[in-house]
Amino acid sequence: MIKEENKDSEMLMQITNYLYIPGKIKENRKFLVEIGTGYFAEYEGEKAMDYYDRKIKYTKESNERVKKEMDEKREFIGKVNVMLQKKVLDAQNEQIRTGGN
């Protein structure tokens, strides 16, 4: 939460990904929170912190789920590669056995 002595402090406000403009903190109990691409909602301090806590938890859970899926797919690809290598080796051995015809 912003401390009372931070009221009227100067800060940089993000307008776009690359553009910041100077601004001042006027109300230190309410915050604009980005809730989606270009959408903002006004929250009081504790509610804003709760919103970001939920967002952090959701992001961590999503990250863990995606990591698990990637590990499973990586394992599957490894098994496919082993099978392909075995088939190529079998085909080479067959060619050698039959004299290359």
**Lowest mean pLDDT, pick from 18-22, 25-29, 55-59:** 25-29
Q: Which two tokens stand for residue 63?
A: 């990250």
pTM for the full model? 0.56
| Of 11, 49, 43, 50, nearest in space to 29 by CA | 43
Element (H, E) at 25: none
Amino acid at site 80: V
pLDDT tens digits, residue range 29-70? Answer: 788 888 888 788 999 888 988 999 999 999 999 999 999 999
Q: Which domain holds residue 44?
A: 4-98
Number of domains in the chain: 1
Backbone phi, then psi, for 22, in 5-degree steps? Answer: -70, 145
